[in-house]
Chains A and B, each alone.
Chain A
């Protein structure tokens, strides 16, 4: 009989090795799935792990998709480290996109470049308001943040639907549910010619550094983590749990909102019902696989972006449904959680 035995100390080695083992497991299961469905598993590997980095353009796309995942997951890392279970980042992303889109629609042909800044700040504010709602209901009424933040995802998506089917619909858009495309002044600048990659990436990387500094080099960041790991110790130290709740949700809401703003003012260029693409949920996996550490999250965001692009390629090249991405995402998180047992426990045979 297999049994687990508590380690005296969490294993350092396994805390790094576990995500890699989880990835290996996911790849193995994925290859088995390909074989089961009568496709060449090596071709599958190629589509998921080689095609997305084969050309400079492909790398640009990979980084473009990794940006929102990175931003959202950074915020979630702060949340999860503070033991605040914000799983409604998707809703905060949508609200950020809505707020940013609303401002972008105000831009005219002769708006100045400051417009971009207004668009991005509106996105941050939108995400913060949406997450702040969860924080307020939790703080004031003790309502469970998991359920409230998740319910607000559905509300946010309906709100988006209302606006793009209703008041914000482009009158010249042949009745499609979408806003007009934003003026150039409201769009975020691209980094290079020949790639859709935009300034979102450097912003996100800078914020990753910022979150690292906050978590590991400031008292406030330390207080967040103590509150998450040992609430009693945090109370003794005089760290306020209410403050921690608000900070965690506002930071993650703001980052998710920024991701939404970058998405609509970047590659999308308008609001449509397809703004919510599941980044908010995928980022939960990114945060865990990245060990809730900014550096790890940068790497896991790239990995998850590969999953997304690989899924699209699997659809066009191999005739798979795009939703295979979701299968792999779920498998990855499952494998990670299972492998993480090795960090705190030893697996032993026998009684």
Chain B
């Protein structure tokens, strides 16, 4: 009983990281830009957040610093991809490689550093409920923030004019341009929003989820978040579900070990990566389905001409 509440709680927590990053990438992709640099942005943001908390002791500032780091890197990516029309895949890869290298380099001095203790979080009254309390109501505010973000995105993308414009830029930048919308600036805005959210997710990892800094600590979460947008066929609510599912897969390994199931730890560590491949295979089986849901200009540069 207690076990299952803890498993649910830890899955929600792990899923939140993926959800926030993937929602950010969703905004990118809805505007037609795919940013393979998620992993690099998250790594730099994780370091920026961690270093800020070490310096100031404030977790809020740490999360903000992470967002800023993500934003700056996304701005660099956006300038290259949107104004200089560089290949989106190659530029994203460059961002991931640079982010991994830079965070490893700049973070050398923080490897042994410790963060100040943080008090537990609890929603008043509800957190005292049996089972539901520990499972649902003792989380970091960001866990609930991710839920709010999904609702906000669903409303914004599908119920507002500006959301419609963003989607039209992703479906047909030429038409949006012909109608007089500033396609490039809209795309840049989307890329920046994506960077900030990836940054937030990265900083959450290093300041709360696993409060420490080691090289490469994001361990593929940025890539899994990228896979999640495809898995969710670019729908915000499905991203959240997918993220929690992946959170559960990540967490099951620890619980299996706790149950005394004797599988070598390396095979358990493989699980989230294998699960990513599995869901990609399942969702991509029907290419028609992907084609209908994918923003039509995804990955293609837009050149407004003379």
Name A residues whose Cβ lies closer than 8 Å to a Cβ of B. Answer: 2, 4-6, 85, 87, 137, 141-144, 146-148, 150-152, 154-155, 158-159, 161-162, 165-166, 281, 284-285, 288, 321, 323-331, 333-334, 337-338, 340-341, 344-345
Name the residue on A nearest B36 (C-beta).
A146
Least distance between B182 CB and chain A CB atoms (Å): 13
Chain A contacts for B84, CB-based, 8 A: 4, 337-338, 341, 345
B interface residue count range (under 10 / 10 to 19 / 20 to 34 / 35 or more): 35 or more
Chain B contacts for A288, CB-based, 8 A: 90
Name B residues whose Cβ lies closer than 8 Å to a Cβ of A. Answer: 36, 40, 76, 80, 83-87, 89-91, 93-95, 97-102, 104-105, 108, 215, 219-220, 223, 226-227, 230, 264, 266-267, 269-270, 273-274, 276-277, 280-281, 284-285, 287, 290, 303, 305-306
Chain B contacts for A166, CB-based, 8 A: 264
Contact present for A341 and B223 (CB under 8 Å): no
Contact present for A325 and B101 (CB under 8 Å): yes
Name the residue on B nearest A336 (C-beta).
B94
Least distance between A229 CB and chain B CB atoms (Å): 13
Contact present for A337 and B87 (CB under 8 Å): yes
Contact present for A285 and B108 (CB under 8 Å): no
Chain A contacts for B277, CB-based, 8 A: 137, 143, 147-148, 151-152
Name the residue on A nearest B102 (C-beta).
A327
Contact present for A323 and B85 (CB under 8 Å): no
Name the residue on A nearest B291 (C-beta).
A142
Contact present for B226 and A147 (CB under 8 Å): yes
Chain A contacts for B91, CB-based, 8 A: 334, 337
Chain A contacts for B101, CB-based, 8 A: 323-330
Pick the contact of B86 from A137, A162, A341 — CB < 8 Å?
A341
Name the residue on B nearest A149 (C-beta).
B277
Least distance between A1 CB and chain B CB atoms (Å): 10
Chain A contacts for B273, CB-based, 8 A: 151-152, 154-155, 158
How far is B274's CA from A281's CA once the two chains are assembled, in angstroms? 20
Least distance between B229 CB and chain A CB atoms (Å): 10
Least distance between A79 CB and chain B CB atoms (Å): 12
How far is B50's CA from A130's CA once the two chains are assembled, in angstroms? 36
